[in-house]
Structure 1
Amino acid sequence: METRRKWLVAIRRDNFNVTPHTRVCSQHFKKNDIREPQTETGRRLLVKGAVPSLFEWNNFTVPASRPGVWERRERLPPPVLEDDTVVDDEEVCMDHDNASPPDPAVVDLALDDNMSHREEIQRLKQQVEKLTMNQRFGIHRFASSDKDIRFFTRFASYDLLMRFWALIEPSLPYMVSVTQAQRGTFTEPTSNVTHSLQPIDEMFMFLSYLALGSKQRDLADRYGVHQSTVSRIITTWSNFLYTVLGSVRIWIPEEKIREHLPAEFKDYADTTVILDCTELRCQCPSSPLLQSETFSTYKSHCTLKGLLGVAPHGAVTFISPLYAGSISDKQIMRESGILSLLRPGMAIMVDRGFLVDDLVPCKIYRPAFLSGRSQMSACEVRETQAIARLRVHVERLIRRVKEHKFFDTEIPLRLFGNINQLYTVACLLTNYENGPLVKAWAKKPE
């Protein structure tokens, strides 16, 4: 508005009605007020803040063009003005022809201002978007680094993570959030439920929670949401993945196992599953009775205990619920449900502590033990060493599960209602996160 006022003052025309089509000729501006075009087809533009200053009232006249060498100058008759001649205000400023079509160099101040403002707004938008992308914590921030993806999720690469996302994404409309469960509105479509984060970033948060053992308050600060929102997201996703991944049959029929049996198992070709127990340290309950039930003499601490089964080629094929740490290996075999999957003609491979011969209907491969003898026979030693070499794969699998730092610390009592889901999901994720347990087992490209 200030520039407009200056223009009107400089033009000095009474009753001057300015319309969107009003133009001021470029000859009313000084040379340094005009910015020359950058290209041949470009337009000349005004310098910001330029004001027309060359008018007849300040003794400015348009210099006459210099005639060519062969042109004759035309003598003009002297002007004759009668005393009663009135000069119209319109003619005062018309020191050159404005009746012809506007010159391309004619500058529209409003258009110039709008254009410069648009450019500035676009530049600032791009800058804000770039800063937001750099600051926003989520999967897209680390998409270009497999090393970062491995650190935050335990998935070996971004490509593997996206393949996993493609598997579970079709089930997202059926996800029941904790808020819905509390209200009892299980039939509401989740498309009507507002999310603080994109679903893929919610998954990334949940995987980071397991992989790094991050505190909920830390995650709330990273993602810019409330801590209660983080708690709801973690519970919702643990239940969702527990349901979706748990609906996939992981127990592999024995004929399929034999089709993909690694060469290392040729002497134990009927092995269907390698079994072992794992224990997770937990917070000791205040009740003496519960303390005695969860106390593990092996760990000398309160624990939760589960049974894991691994196929010879390295895939998780059985996951039991978690039990109190005082449960015996024999009792966990009886209560876990593994016995219903075993048939005559199969074989299982276990540690020497699994004395379950009277429970299972199949063959057992187990390292020999002395049982009161001074030493084992040479045949028993060789067999024990061979079984130990093969059983190391289930130990590697357990190590992969415990690479999720969530299980490094004591599991607090407040998570006992959700710990089975978290543990089961962590075990199932190992089937998607990595390659084969032994690199030599990787399928060679044809």
Structure 2
Amino acid sequence: MGVNGWRSADLLDEMNPDWVPNQNLGYANRITPAAVDKFERAARRNENKEAREVQESILAVEDFSTHPVPIDRVAELEDEIKSLRREMQLMRDKHQPFLCNSFEDFGQNDDKCRYFTALNYKVFKSLYKFLEPHLPQPATSFGTTKFQILLFTLSKLRLDIDLTLIAYMSGVHLSTISRYYHKCIYVMFQRLKGLVSWPSREAVQNSMPQCFRRRFGDKVSVVIDCFEILTEKPSEVLQAAQMWSNYKHSHTVKYLIGIAPNGMIIFISNAFGGRASDKFITEKSALLSKMQKGDYIMADRGFLIKNYVENTGVELLLPAFTVGQDQLHPLDIEKTRKLANVRIHVERVIVQLRNKYKILYKNKFPISTLKRTKNYCETPLMDQIVTVCCSLVNLCPSVVPED
């Protein structure tokens, strides 16, 4: 039995404590003084070789640094240095906002603020003060502040920046950034959804632009339209069929939006499949229940809801149709022209919504955003995002002129 307690070493296992030579016992290979001198001379040669290589590399660097530059290239190199410095400054300015910890670091710069949030500096600061008590409290070990959470969430809505990029730029793990983003969206949804609310008839009449008042008096309460948002293809066949849009030639969800004559968004429906008609969405939404008898509702040709609307005492304003006739009657032409002249202003609100918050059209929404999030509320994430974007647009100046 060996030293290790269970068996002797193998024949060639020289590192084993139980290995013992049994031939020559090492006496046949004696180290002579000549062998020692030979080893020392080889070691000195290696040291001298390494020293020479270091000296040669130093000389090469010195020769390069003192190499004369042609005079005709000096101006070219100086311009290149200036160009690289400008590019570096642009990159620093582009990525700096995500590293800011407060408004003092962000700076009172309206252009920069509008680029990242679509809001001016004062509105952004007021919004932060309003939301700050309810924003998620980040752990101190993450080095992230509430200000940064709101900033990158608004930037995600504004520019549709990938959360992975935000995670790398802020030095925080992607899962943490994603969790903060979802919580911030939920907070904004709960606190700002009141900005998309139905006003009283008196409020609508008092804020009625002259372009509406001259043509229709003060009876128009809302202008309705539908817009679609692209989504990924659902895995279920039935769901994919319900979400297929012949208009977009893709899978979409459709929202009914109601806009007051002054350009404020006063109604936004839940998401419907892209296959749903404008009539179906209008009937299934709660829009008509908010209107009063005698109100005017302005819509496009796709809203075939005249019979449904008249039962509620609401007047429907639609462009004239040429169905069953060769051309429109002059009175119908004049009516259609009046509708088009005012609808163009309201349609600009939808364009403003898309331009300010590119998340609504830049990329396809994942199907997971249509599912209810049990951790926060029963409203799907996509509905939360659309409502938040509409609320933020209402904080911006209206695109409809007052006179």
Provide TM-score, normalisation by structure 1: 0.62
Aligned counterpart, 2:363: 409
Q: CA deviation at 1:396?
A: 1.2
Q: Which structure's CA Rg is the greater one?
A: 1
SS of the residue corresponding to residue 411 of structure 1 reads coil
8 Å Cα contact 1:309-1:316 kept in structure 2: yes
Q: CA deviation at 1:192?
A: 9.2
SS of the residue corresponding to residue 345 of structure 1 reads coil
For residue 226 of structure 1, the aligned residue among 156, 162, 173 is 173
2:402 counterpart letter in structure 1: W
Q: Does 1:152 align with 2:116?
A: yes
For residue 358 of structure 1, the aligned residue among 303, 307, 324 is 307
Unaligned runs of 5+ residues in structure 2 are: 1-94, 372-380
Aligned counterpart, 2:131: 168
For residue 107 of structure 2, the aligned residue among 109, 125, 143 is 143
Q: Cα gap change, 1:224/1:167 in structure 2, threshold over 3 Å: closer, same or farther?
A: same
SS of the residue corresponding to residue 441 of structure 1 reads coil
1:14-413 matches, cutoff 5 A: 137-138=99-100, 140=103, 141-155=105-119, 157-169=120-132, 172-173=133-134, 196-248=143-195, 250-266=197-213, 267-268=215-216, 269-360=218-309, 361=312, 362-403=314-355, 404-407=357-360, 408-413=362-367
Q: CA deviation at 1:193?
A: 9.2
Q: CA deviation at 1:195?
A: 6.9
Q: Cα gap change, 1:259/1:294 in structure 2, threshold over 3 Å: closer, same or farther?
A: same
* Partners of 1:136 and 1:319 in 2: CA distance: 31
SS of the residue corresponding to residue 251 of structure 1 reads coil
1:221 counterpart letter in structure 2: Y
* Partners of 1:161 and 1:134 in 2: CA distance: 17
Q: Cα gap change, 1:196/1:345 in structure 2, threshold over 3 Å: closer, same or farther?
A: farther
Q: Does 1:428 align with 2:391?
A: yes
Q: How many residues align?
A: 292
Question: Alpha-carbon deviations, 1:64-123, whole Å to 9, x = none?
Answer: xxxxxxxxxxxxxxxxxxxxxxxxxxxxxxxxxxxxxxxxxxxxxxxxxxxxxxxxxxxx
2:393 counterpart letter in structure 1: T
* Partners of 1:352 and 1:423 in 2: CA distance: 25
Q: CA deviation at 1:334?
A: 1.5
Question: Alpha-carbon deviations, 1:190-247, whole Å to 9, x = none?
Answer: 6999874221221111000010101010011122211111101110011111111124
* Partners of 2:388 and 2:281 in 1: CA distance: 20
Q: Cα gap change, 1:134/1:327 in structure 2, threshold over 3 Å: closer, same or farther?
A: closer
Q: CA deviation at 1:379?
A: 1.7
* Partners of 2:331 and 2:349 in 1: CA distance: 28
2:363 counterpart letter in structure 1: T
* Partners of 2:393 and 2:96 in 1: CA distance: 30
Aligned counterpart, 1:49: none
Question: Alpha-carbon deviations, 1:117-151, whole Å to 9, x = none?
Answer: xxxxxxxxxxxxxxxx9686236444332111111
1:422 counterpart letter in structure 2: I
* Partners of 1:213 and 1:235 in 2: CA distance: 14
SS of the residue corresponding to residue 274 of structure 1 reads strand
2:175 counterpart letter in structure 1: S
* Partners of 1:207 and 1:382 in 2: CA distance: 44
% of aligned pairs identical? 29
Question: Alpha-carbon deviations, 1:150-178, whole Å to 9, x = none?
Answer: 111111x2122112223334xx24x5x5x
Q: CA deviation at 1:319?
A: 0.7
SS of the residue corresponding to residue 328 of structure 2 reads coil
1:265 counterpart letter in structure 2: F
* Partners of 1:292 and 1:398 in 2: CA distance: 26
* Partners of 2:220 and 2:194 in 1: CA distance: 25
Q: Cα gap change, 1:191/1:422 in structure 2, threshold over 3 Å: closer, same or farther?
A: closer
* Partners of 1:317 and 1:249 in 2: CA distance: 5
1:233 counterpart letter in structure 2: Y
Question: Alpha-carbon deviations, 1:299-319, whole Å to 9, x = none?
Answer: 111100000011000111001
Question: Alpha-carbon deviations, 1:266-294, whole Å to 9, x = none?
Answer: 12220000100000011111222111110
* Partners of 2:365 and 2:131 in 1: CA distance: 27
Q: Cα gap change, 1:255/1:134 in structure 2, threshold over 3 Å: closer, same or farther?
A: closer
* Partners of 1:236 and 1:193 in 2: CA distance: 17
Q: Cα gap change, 1:249/1:217 in structure 2, threshold over 3 Å: closer, same or farther?
A: closer
8 Å Cα contact 1:276-1:394 kept in structure 2: no
* Partners of 1:152 and 1:248 in 2: CA distance: 21
8 Å Cα contact 1:309-1:318 kept in structure 2: yes
Q: Taking CA–CA contacts closer than 8 Å with sequence separation of 6 or more, which of the two structures ends up with the larger relative contact order?
A: 2
SS of the residue corresponding to residue 309 of structure 1 reads strand
Q: Cα gap change, 1:249/1:293 in structure 2, threshold over 3 Å: closer, same or farther?
A: closer
* Partners of 2:331 and 2:198 in 1: CA distance: 33
Q: Cα gap change, 1:134/1:316 in structure 2, threshold over 3 Å: closer, same or farther?
A: closer
Provide TM-score, normalisation by structure 2: 0.68
Q: CA deviation at 1:248?
A: 4.8
